[in-house]
Chain A
Amino acid sequence: MDNPNQPGPTEEQVAGLLAALPPVPRGWTEAAQELPLLRQSLDGLVARAESDDAFRREVLADLEAALAEVGVEPQPAALAALRARLT
């Protein structure tokens, strides 16, 4: 695409570039988009972990159990959100 003699990619190259970004598997994008809502449901857990180091270590050692205790399903998005706030 940087050839100075050509103003842009050919149609064939454009087609190849479109194909390079296929859709994300169902549900992944939506889960990431829900992070702001998910974050609120983790606030209590995170606040306690930030004020109690032993509890923080316990949570980090078993994120799934910690999420289950606050009624959040331990899906990849929730695990990632909790880990991101505690590390």
Chain B
Amino acid sequence: MARCRVGDPDGWRILVERFSRYVYAICSQGYRLGPEEAEDVFQEVFARAYEQLDRLRDDAAIRPWLAQMTRRLCIDHIRARRQDDPTDVEETAGTDATIEYLDEALVVREALQGLSPECQDILDRFFARDESYRTISDGLGLPGGTVASRISRCLKRLRDQLEHMGRNDRH
């Protein structure tokens, strides 16, 4: 955050990388926007964040700030689309629950950064990119059995990492 505030392009690059999946997931899962609308909102969120970043005093507030901005822009887009529809866009309990779940998913994603690059890659391929054992095996040049055992081992490490982070948060 400090690097972004002084105009370091690498700082901005890292910030976008860190939150891009989260912002996209709010658009696509929280508000079920189609690809075109989701892309407009996604770019709008980061464009506004870039312009307004110096107003954010507390670095820890970045996630809720981006979430709130994304939610507001999603609603604006849905309202604009429904100009002729008198029913307003309502925030449902379902949307709140989805975004809470995405908050947890972001914590897991951050814990993933603490694992080896091999573990990060294979877990991302299998769970987030939904690649099959065969695709992963071909992509990484590993025997099928090794893919399964590595996923299992890395998943256990990720869970341990989260447990460790949870313990540190409590102390």
Is the pairing of A and B real?
yes
> A67 vs B78: C-alpha distance in the bound complex, in angstroms?
25
What are 24 A-B pairs with beta-carbon distances under 8 A? A1-B107, A8-B166, A14-B108, A17-B107, A20-B102, A21-B25, A22-B21, A22-B25, A22-B130, A24-B24, A28-B39, A29-B16, A29-B20, A32-B42, A32-B43, A32-B46, A32-B47, A33-B16, A35-B12, A35-B50, A36-B7, A77-B46, A81-B50, A84-B51
Closest 4 CB pairs of A and B: A18-B127, A80-B43, A20-B105, A80-B47
The number of chain B residues with a CB under 8 A from chain A is: 46
The chain A residue sitting closest to B46, CB to CB, is A32
The answer on a CB contact under 8 Å between A83 and B47 is yes
The answer on a CB contact under 8 Å between A21 and B104 is no
CB distance from A81 to the nearest CB of B (A): 5
> Which residues 36-87 of A sit at the B interface, judged by CB distance below 8 A?
36-37, 39, 76-77, 79-81, 83-85
Mostly, the A contact residues are helix
> A7 vs B162: C-alpha distance in the bound complex, in angstroms?
9
The number of chain A residues with a CB under 8 A from chain B is: 34
Q: Which of B39, B102, B106 has the most CB of A within 10 A?
A: B39
> A79 vs B39: C-alpha distance in the bound complex, in angstroms?
11
What is B's interface to A at a CB cutoff of 8 Å? 7, 9, 12-13, 16-17, 20-22, 24-25, 29, 35, 39-40, 42-44, 46-48, 50-51, 101-102, 104-109, 112, 123-124, 127-130, 155-156, 158-159, 162-163, 166-167
Mostly, the B contact residues are helix
Contacts of B7 in A (CB 8 A): 36
CB distance from A59 to the nearest CB of B (A): 15
> A83 vs B73: C-alpha distance in the bound complex, in angstroms?
13
